[in-house]
Amino acid sequence: MQARGYVSCIFACPFDGRVAHESVLKCVNRLLEAGCYEVSLGDTTGVGCPSDVNSLLDYLVQHGVPIERLARHFHDTYGQALANVWAAMGKGLSAFDSSVAGLGGCPYAPGAKGNLASEDLVYSLHMAGMATGVDYDALVEVGRFMDTNLGLGNHSRAGTVSLSRLAPKASSVKRLHWSADLLTDELEIHRSGRNLRITLNRPKNGNALTRQMITAINSCLRIQRE
């Protein structure tokens, strides 16, 4: 059975502060030597930015760690997770962890947010023309389901916007209920409160107004003003 390794707090520790590249390298090598097929590097506190990603990956590769044996796990505490993914992709990584609706966090890292939202990651990749095999709309619906049932909020920017697009749009306009005020062969007038709906019914004559029609309309408008 193959195992996947995981190194937490690759950039900063909530207790000891900044983490040295040498410490990360030591952990990665121990996990690879133990037989892990892949090691996921986790920015658990979510403090890293693209320059941190580039610096650490360059260091690991320079010290013999195969880039194809690495994955990344970014928390989005400072809103840098998606940018960090693209930085890592630029270095050759293709495996990334994420969570629907950006759920997650860390019990020993105060203030740490959840993982990069899966919806944000998939949306960004699809917009770049990359195939992921993921049905984005279905993923957004899963985010809605998780939010509804767990009540932890939906932290995906793309998912939240997409939900408003996918959700049935409720009309904010109050429906009017019309009642007949005047019905003739030439003219129909309906009333709903202070609103009038006037329908001319002389199609064969181009709906031209007659003296009687004008009088009837003026009468209804006069009553309406009163």
Catalytic amino acids? Answer: 106
Amino acid at 37: Y
| Ranges of H-type helices in 63-183 | 81-90, 118-127, 136-150, 157-166
Identify the CA nearest to 23 among candidates 8, 33, 35. 8
154: CB partners within 8 A, 6+ apart: 101, 102, 143, 144, 146, 147, 160, 163
Identify the CA nearest to 212 among candidates 190, 188, 186. 186
